[in-house]
Amino acid sequence: MPEERKYTTVSIPVQLYEKIKKRIEGTGFTSVSDYVTYVLREVLASLEEEEKEEVFSEEEEEKVKERLRALGYLD
Amino acid sequence: MVSKPHGGRLIRRIAAEKTRERILSEAEEFPKVQIREGVAIDLENIAHGVYSPLTGFLRSDEFQSVLDTMRLPSDLPWSIPIVLDISEKDKTFEEGDAILLYYKNTPIARMHVDEIYTYDKKEFAQKVFKTIDSAHPGVAKVYAMGEYLVGGEIELLNELPNPYERYTLRPVETRVLFKERGWETIVAFQTRNVPHLGHEYLQKSALAFVDGLFVNPVIGKKKKGDYKDDVILKAYETLFKHYYPRDAAVMAIVRYEMRYAGPREAIHHAIMRKNFGCTHFIVGRDHAGVGNYYGPYEAQEIFQAFPDLGITPMFFKEFFYCKRCKAIVNERICPHPMEDREYFSGTKIRKMIMEGKVPPEYFMRKEVYETIKGFENPFVED
């Protein structure tokens, strides 16, 4: 199967582009696109982390606790 | 707060009791596919959310995306293809069918077949293992796979036989456990070995920075000369009893078949532990490596490409005993030359145990050694 990667274009101000270009000199980033992708992934992941944690139903949680007690993981 | 599951939601693909009964009563009506142990274990891990967000075996677009980018089409990091392979003779069904997957003649799961597709084994090997050498155990397994892959969602009908049920915790359970213990930061340590002092220092160094330690031995297929699973578990129980704070460390197993894919597999191992609720994951030297296929710290370097993994890797240099420091240290904190260093060699320790020699106290805790020696034969035979 041929290797396929999907990309699209996003516009950023030229001044910002130049600033990033300068910033990534001598780092592991080979292009402004790579750097922007990295930063956006990091930002989005941290925003998602802040969203509310999944909560189990009380009944389900109690059932789990019973097993954990039976196995000695909880007192 | 414990880690959120990968993809935001803990997947559970276990058939409800009534559905299960109905499916099993109609079992003869479904095409039947026998699966091998490694695939059955993957299936169980999908069903219990260890592989969240996967809800089944990869479809072709997901498979190709994982090979090419180490990400699912949704951009979520995913480095190891989780696939169901079949041979020509097993291709007795079509896309759109529901089939039953059997392990050792027991129906394990129902699968909705979205897609049946071909793949290039050499491409699979090269991209995942960085080699097409059939001497690599992971590559050899790929070459032995069937010609087709089947993608689609699964529902677990029966649990696999599990001799270690007492030590088995699912992500839904570890998440409750961590919460009940009041742990907000948890570091996971994966192991396939009995603990020596190097492991202990690694774990305790990490534990110094977080609330809890989750030791997670991988139970699965072993090769001749490896420690038996029972031995590993008992050795850890002994170590915990004598040397670990009871309120800050737990051990539970995960069943998983190692791929030996080095850096790619390190990412996969981290994702699995994120799903268990861990916030940190220890990555040591040559994690999930085999032979000389990967650089000693390649499995650490790969994490730089995943700022969005959602679990923090903790990197450590290899620990050793320094005769001049008279302590267990690593090259970051010890200034002394090589000749003062005694490296922890699993092979060396195994040889000592086989010959009935007691390892030095700076290699292995006396109590752990005695536990191992309590087994008539602690090693896997043919």
Put simply, the answer to whether A4 touches B166 (Cβ < 8 Å) is no
Going from N- to C-terminal start, the domains of chain B cover: 17-156, 165-257+317-373
pLDDT at position A6 is: 78
Q: What is the ipTM of this complex?
A: 0.88
Q: What is the largest CA-CA distance in chain A?
A: 63
- Average pLDDT on B274-281 reads 97
- Average pLDDT on B55-67 reads 98
Interface residue of A3, A30, A37 to substitute, partner B, most B CBs within 10 Å: A3
CA torsion through residues A55, A57, A60, A61, sign:
positive
* pTM for the model: 0.93
- Average pLDDT on B365-382 reads 92
pLDDT at position B346 is: 83
Domain B165-257+317-373 sits in CATH at: 3.40.50.620
pLDDT at position A53 is: 64
Residues of chain A with pLDDT under 50: 1-2
Nearest CA in chain B to A43: B308
In tens, the pLDDT along B129-152 reads 999 999 999 999 999 999 999 999
Whole-angstrom Cα distance, residue B345 to residue B360?
12
Q: Which residues of B touch A74 (CB under 8 A)?
A: 177, 180-181
CATH superfamily of B17-156: Sulfate adenylyltransferase (3.10.400.10)
- Average pLDDT on B227-249 reads 96
- Average pLDDT on B115-141 reads 97
Put simply, the answer to whether B310 touches A28 (Cβ < 8 Å) is no
Catalytic residue among B181, B192, B259, B350: B192
- Judge whether A22 is closer than 8 Å to chain B, CB to CB: no
Using H for helix, E for strand and C for coil, what is the string for B156-224?
Answer: ECCCCCCCCHHHECCHHHHHHHHHHCCCCCEEEEEECCCCCHHHHHHHHHHHCCCCEEEEEEEECCCCC
Total Cβ atoms within 10 A of residue B275: 29
In tens, the pLDDT along B2-31 reads 889 999 999 999 999 999 999 999 999 999
Q: Which residues of A touch B177 (CB under 8 A)?
A: 68, 73-74
In tens, the pLDDT along B290-319 reads 889 999 999 999 999 999 999 999 999 889
Nearest CB neighbour to B4, from listed A3, A53, A65:
A53
